[in-house]
């Protein structure tokens, strides 16, 4: 198992419990935002006292338990929403409609909306064009469009911003999305290139919460290529990056992906060098390695 913290029945007792608390708080915040009681969330999954221990950072769930909790909370690996949506027009009503469709994951309606001539007529600037083609690519991939068609939309998004000297957040998001597509169509060299373009010097640019998505998509691209060590690296980076900015946005998705990576490596009986696993464990959770495995 690549992420040892998700091994069965590991109780965190070291002083480095901050990450345990972060996971517990993430589950609790997501649960309360959906107006679920501990009893409702834990029903047929685990005992209520165990869920309470998880939420208070006293117990780290194993991969299967974490996956079940995340699924009950409707946390998705494939469907995520931007923290703040981008404008495709000066018409605020149009932008609001876009945000509603995106946040509710109504992708076919979003695709129809974006292909409507009335929508196209209200795009006024290069940045709005960039956003338009990004959303078009997202709507296409989520509705099963040909991957080359999706890539073309993302490339049009990038070309709308190509004369700018800065790499804005949306440009990075697009490169990260392309990395995921490239991993699906088995182009590993292109995956590495797009991840580099998405993440290069990400710590040095002006922070927005949408940046939290970029390491997540990088991890997804690596995971789809079964590159579990790289996936774990980007999950580690993403959690650290997010919490360093006092943000909780995307943390639940990171932990859910972490559980899937852990379970996949366990099921495939993948053996990672002990030193690599130990370092991943130490970096991710800031704790001493639990050596009984």
CA gap 179, 218 in Å, rounded: 7
The owner of tokens 């959303």 is: 135
Position 9 scores a pLDDT of 29
Task: Residue 132: name the closest of 148, 142, 146, 119 by CA.
Answer: 119
Position 267 scores a pLDDT of 57
CATH of 1-83+212-293, one of 2.30.290.10, 1.10.540.10, 3.10.20.740, 1.10.260.40: 1.10.260.40
Query: How many angstroms separate the Cα of 138 from the Cα of each of 19, 95, 144, 181, 185?
Result: 32, 16, 10, 11, 16
Give 261's contacts (C-beta < 8 A, 6+ positions apart).
2, 3, 219, 223, 228, 231, 232, 235
Position 272 scores a pLDDT of 43
Torsion from C-alpha of 178, 266, 243, 237, nearest 10 degrees: -50
Query: How many angstroms separate the Cα of 257 from the Cα of each of 161, 202, 235, 279, 286?
Result: 31, 21, 8, 19, 19
Longest dimension (CA), the chain: 63
Position 164 scores a pLDDT of 56
**pLDDT digits over 189-199, tens only?**
899 999 999 99
Supply 62's token pair: 């194993």
CA gap 197, 140 in Å, rounded: 23
The owner of tokens 């800031």 is: 286
CB 247 within 8 A of CB 209: yes
Phi/psi-derived region of residue 271, left when phi > 0, alpha when psi is between -120 and 50, beta in every other case: beta
Under-70 pLDDT residues of the chain: 1-20, 76-79, 162-167, 266-293
Supply 142's token pair: 């989520």
């Amino acid at each position: 198992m690549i992420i040892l913290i998700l091994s069965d029945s590991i109780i965190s007792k070291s002083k480095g419990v901050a990450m345990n608390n972060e996971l517990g708080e993430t589950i609790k915040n997501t649960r309360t935002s959906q107006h679920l009681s501990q009893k409702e969330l834990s029903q047929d999954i685990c005992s209520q006292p165990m869920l309470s221990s998880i939420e208070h950072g006293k117990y780290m769930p194993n991969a299967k338990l974490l996956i079940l909790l995340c699924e009950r909370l409707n946390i998705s690996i494939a469907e995520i929403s931007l923290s703040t949506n981008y404008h495709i027009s000066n018409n605020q009503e149009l932008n609001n409609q876009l945000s509603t469709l995106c946040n509710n994951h109504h992708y076919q309606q979003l695709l129809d909306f974006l292909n409507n001539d009335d929508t196209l007529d209200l795009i006024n600037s290069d940045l709005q064009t960039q956003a338009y083609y990004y959303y078009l690519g997202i709507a296409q991939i989520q509705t099963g469009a040909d991957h080359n068609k999706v890539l073309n939309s993302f490339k049009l998004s990038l070309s709308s911003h190509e004369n700018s000297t800065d790499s804005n957040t949306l440009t990075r998001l697009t490169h990260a999305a392309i990395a995921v597509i490239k991993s699906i169509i088995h182009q590993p060299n292109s995956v590495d290139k797009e991840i580099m373009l998405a993440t290069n010097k990400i710590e040095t640019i002006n922070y927005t919460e949408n940046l939290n998505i970029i390491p997540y998509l990088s991890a997804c691209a690596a995971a789809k290529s079964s590159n579990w060590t790289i996936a774990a690296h980007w999950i580690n980076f993403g959690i650290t990056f997010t919490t360093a900015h006092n943000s909780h946005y995307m943390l639940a998705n990171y932990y859910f992906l972490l559980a899937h990576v852990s379970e996949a490596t366990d099921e495939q009986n993948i053996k990672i060098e002990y030193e690599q696993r130990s370092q991943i464990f130490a970096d991710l959770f800031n704790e001493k390695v639990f050596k009984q495995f």
